[in-house]
A = this chain, B = another copy of it.
């Protein structure tokens, strides 16, 4: 039952009794018979693929925790070897996994070589072990796994499958990170070894972005001091920075993937068990049987993204526009009674309706993505990310777009239409009296205030809620649960008192050496799963503010710099304390978010140019009429900025490509070295092939030499043309 590492040290350092996974199992009172039958199947399925299991009660009487570990180290080795071979078959690793002296054929040496291979040459990281154990649990039975799919089908009573946190590591991690300014490669590397490449990529991106923020922060501070807002110098340099950052990250991403040995891992795509196939086909590359779903049907379903985006625009856009209008009306036009209370109305509406609608639309996005029926997790995730990007784009940026491009230029024209509200309000006031309104002026500070709110206040609020909300949720949840279980115990007691036989005994106390451990496991069973998508989304939205609107308030990047230092630590805290330990998936990039970054960076060139053009001269639109704006000049400015952007991108891309990423270089030189080594084994053939290509041919060569000499003699004796002059 020993893990490949020293078992005694492990037990003490992890304090997890070498448990690989915990399976939380619910036995709802209504379906207890079925749930219990399935539970036996669960234990059998796990044993069948080589897991040792231990069962302990969960927090409530209706839940169980199954502690799972890989029973034998040789099974682990065989799984790891299998996975590494697959990596190599798909070109993820340059060389086949094998001990360096695999040619040695004596059996004793072989065992030594294998042990040395796993102990020294390519040791197994915790992430690799956990990933393979998880795959073994969830892989379909006909592919050699236990086929357990949490919350679905036969296994709908399996609430979650999660690895246990390594408390000692987490403590060391958080305390180390909170004491250093700068996270280096070893910090990210240790994340990778514990939580896998998918999480490590997030922190690597965050760190890279944090470092790059130093430049726009300094630039922004200087611009704020010297140039003021809406400076075209700041706008140009900021866009340039965005291009450089984007291209740099693309290179860095490849570098990291090579360094971590996961480049091309996207090709080994995790099939989704929810995928519904139409027929089976042969994979032209591997020759294996694959499940196929008609791409045309999928395309037809993908076209629903159009209506979906439109729905988002209408629903969220409608909400935002309405609240915006009410706000302007109340703040800047209305001057009647209850103004101080009414001022909160739009905020209250937004706070209530926005999350509700967003949640609804996100669920719609989920269902839509499900409906699109992707074969692999990656494709599914990419499509889902696209959709939530649309939602987030609207909720995050539309308010600023409204202020900058509708309210300020067209306010004077549009505000009269707010009469609708005036009529509504009049119903609540005395009929005869005219509604008291104040003289209305476009508020030129509104845009700046809004940007400051979104880039400072909202970030802080966001950071806080990331902690408080899950904590509060957990507290409430536990209270409810306690009350419920107390009630059910009372009922049981009443039933027992009533003479009805029940097997429901009060839970036995945990054995003392396990008690602390079990308490931890029960707590962790109730935590949320960690979803890296949410963290990426936050950073990408932030990058959008910087790229699109920071020209309004150049200190934006300073605020983000501070925020992101905290963000990295708070995300670490979140993983360590607020979430279940993530399953250490691999990844070779930040995936679909890269496109989102590129899009925002490009859009930034347009909005920055438009903002500078519209607001440059301090008081925008002195006459208050939008027709003062020379539309062709605005368009020309935007057009020019965009093409400058595209040109700079082309140049930067060219330069970055010439720089040659060290990762790619490493990869190439590895492949070259491997081939060279293989070549050395072939040299024998080479020589024989080249030098002595059969006796007859070799004789032919001698004859040819003779002919050659004959020719030369003839040339010097007889002479043709002029050489005889010599």
By a beta-carbon cutoff of 8 Å, the part of chain A in contact with chain B is: 1-2, 27, 32, 36-37, 39-40, 43, 47, 52-58, 61, 64, 71-75, 77-78, 81-82, 85, 88-91, 96, 98-99, 102, 107, 110-111, 114-115, 117, 284-287, 295, 503, 508, 630-632, 634-636, 638-639, 658, 665, 668-669, 671-672, 675-676, 678-679, 682, 685-686, 688-695, 697-698, 700-701, 703-705, 707-708, 711-712, 715, 720-726
**Chain B residue nearest to A99 in the complex (CB):** B685
Number of copies: 2
**Chain B residue nearest to A504 in the complex (CB):** B722
Contact of A77 among B658, B690, B725 (CB under 8 A): B690
In the complex, how many angstroms separate the beta carbon of A623 from the nearest chain B beta carbon? 19
Q: Are B686 and A85 within 8 A (Cβ)?
A: yes
Q: Are B725 and A36 within 8 A (Cβ)?
A: yes
Contact of A114 among B635, B693, B711 (CB under 8 A): B693
Contact of A71 among B91, B503, B708 (CB under 8 A): B708
Contacts of A114 in B (CB 8 A): 685, 688-689, 693-694
Given contact pairs A635-B639, A636-B635, A102 touches B685 in the complex (Cβ within 8 A):
yes
In the A-B complex, list the 7 residue pairs whose CB atoms are closest, starting with the nearest. Answer: A78-B690, A631-B632, A632-B632, A72-B701, A635-B635, A111-B694, A285-B669
Contact of A285 among B71, B632, B668 (CB under 8 A): B668
Q: Are B720 and A57 within 8 A (Cβ)?
A: yes
Given contact pairs A47-B708, A75-B701, A693-B115, A723 touches B632 in the complex (Cβ within 8 A):
no
Contacts of A99 in B (CB 8 A): 685
Contact of A679 among B96, B694, B704 (CB under 8 A): B96
Query: How far is it, in angstroms, between the C-alpha of A631 and the C-alpha of B75 when the chains are bound?
Result: 74
Given contact pairs A52-B707, A503-B725, A74 touches B691 in the complex (Cβ within 8 A):
yes
Contact of A693 among B2, B77, B676, B720 (CB under 8 A): B77
In the complex, how many angstroms separate the beta carbon of A602 from the nearest chain B beta carbon? 10
Query: How far is it, in angstroms, between the C-alpha of A78 and the C-alpha of B723 when the chains are bound?
Result: 33
Q: Are B672 and A32 within 8 A (Cβ)?
A: no
Contacts of A700 in B (CB 8 A): 1-2, 72-74
Q: Are A54 and B693 within 8 A (Cβ)?
A: no
Given contact pairs A55-B715, A685-B110, A726-B36, A704 touches B71 in the complex (Cβ within 8 A):
yes
Main secondary structure of the interface of A (DSSP, over half): helix
Contacts of A682 in B (CB 8 A): 96, 98, 102
Given contact pairs A284-B665, A689-B81, A704 touches B72 in the complex (Cβ within 8 A):
yes
**Chain B residue nearest to A698 in the complex (CB):** B74
Query: How far is it, in angstroms, between the C-alpha of A456 and the C-alpha of B452 when the chains are bound?
Result: 62
Contacts of A73 in B (CB 8 A): 693, 697, 700-701
Q: Are A672 and B1 within 8 A (Cβ)?
A: no
Q: Are B89 and A32 within 8 A (Cβ)?
A: no
In the complex, how many angstroms separate the beta carbon of A159 from the nearest chain B beta carbon? 14
Given contact pairs A81-B686, A689-B77, A693-B74, A678 touches B96 in the complex (Cβ within 8 A):
yes
Given contacts A110-B688, A114-B693, 7 further A-B contacts (CB under 8 A): A27-B722, A56-B720, A57-B720, A72-B700, A72-B704, A98-B682, A285-B672
In the complex, how many angstroms separate the beta carbon of A319 from the nearest chain B beta carbon? 28
Query: How far is it, in angstroms, between the C-alpha of A608 and the C-alpha of B238 when the chains are bound?
Result: 33
Given contact pairs A72-B700, A89-B676, A55 touches B723 in the complex (Cβ within 8 A):
yes
Q: List 25 A-B contacts (CB under 8 A).
A: A36-B723, A37-B726, A40-B723, A52-B704, A53-B715, A54-B711, A55-B721, A56-B720, A71-B705, A72-B700, A72-B701, A73-B701, A74-B692, A74-B693, A74-B697, A89-B675, A90-B672, A111-B693, A111-B694, A114-B688, A115-B694, A284-B669, A508-B720, A630-B632, A632-B632
Query: How far is it, in angstroms, between the C-alpha of A485 and the C-alpha of B689 when the chains are bound?
Result: 51
Most B CB contacts (10 A, CB to CB) among A111, A676, A700 go to A111
Query: How far is it, in angstroms, between the C-alpha of A503 and the C-alpha of B98 when the chains are bound?
Result: 74
**Chain B residue nearest to A82 in the complex (CB):** B690
Contacts of A691 in B (CB 8 A): 74, 78
Contacts of A115 in B (CB 8 A): 693-694
Contacts of A685 in B (CB 8 A): 98-99, 102, 110, 114
In the complex, how many angstroms separate the beta carbon of A261 from the nearest chain B beta carbon? 16
Contacts of A295 in B (CB 8 A): 658
Query: How far is it, in angstroms, between the C-alpha of A107 and the C-alpha of B75 when the chains are bound?
Result: 44
Q: Are B665 and A285 within 8 A (Cβ)?
A: yes
Contacts of A75 in B (CB 8 A): 701
Q: Are B32 and A701 within 8 A (Cβ)?
A: no
In the complex, how many angstroms separate the beta carbon of A109 from the nearest chain B beta carbon? 11
Q: Are B285 and A74 within 8 A (Cβ)?
A: no
In the complex, how many angstroms separate the beta carbon of A422 from the nearest chain B beta carbon? 34
Contacts of A81 in B (CB 8 A): 686, 689-690
Q: Are B64 and A722 within 8 A (Cβ)?
A: yes
Contact of A91 among B111, B671, B712 (CB under 8 A): B671
Query: How far is it, in angstroms, between the C-alpha of A1 and the C-alpha of B705 when the chains are bound?
Result: 9
Query: How far is it, in angstroms, between the C-alpha of A697 and the C-alpha of B89 when the chains are bound?
Result: 28
Q: Are B712 and A43 within 8 A (Cβ)?
A: yes
Contacts of A701 in B (CB 8 A): 71-75
**Chain B residue nearest to A85 in the complex (CB):** B679
Most B CB contacts (10 A, CB to CB) among A635, A676, A688, A691 go to A635
In the complex, how many angstroms separate the beta carbon of A534 from the nearest chain B beta carbon? 26
Given contact pairs A73-B697, A704-B1, A96 touches B675 in the complex (Cβ within 8 A):
yes
Query: How far is it, in angstroms, between the C-alpha of A40 and the C-alpha of B73 when the chains are bound?
Result: 74
In the complex, how many angstroms separate the beta carbon of A410 from the nearest chain B beta carbon? 16
Most B CB contacts (10 A, CB to CB) among A2, A61, A689 go to A689
In the complex, how many angstroms separate the beta carbon of A266 from the nearest chain B beta carbon? 13
Query: How far is it, in angstroms, between the C-alpha of A64 and the C-alpha of B99 when the chains are bound?
Result: 62
Contacts of A508 in B (CB 8 A): 720
**Chain B residue nearest to A675 in the complex (CB):** B89
Query: How far is it, in angstroms, between the C-alpha of A676 and the C-alpha of B86 when the chains are bound?
Result: 10
Q: Are B56 and A721 within 8 A (Cβ)?
A: yes
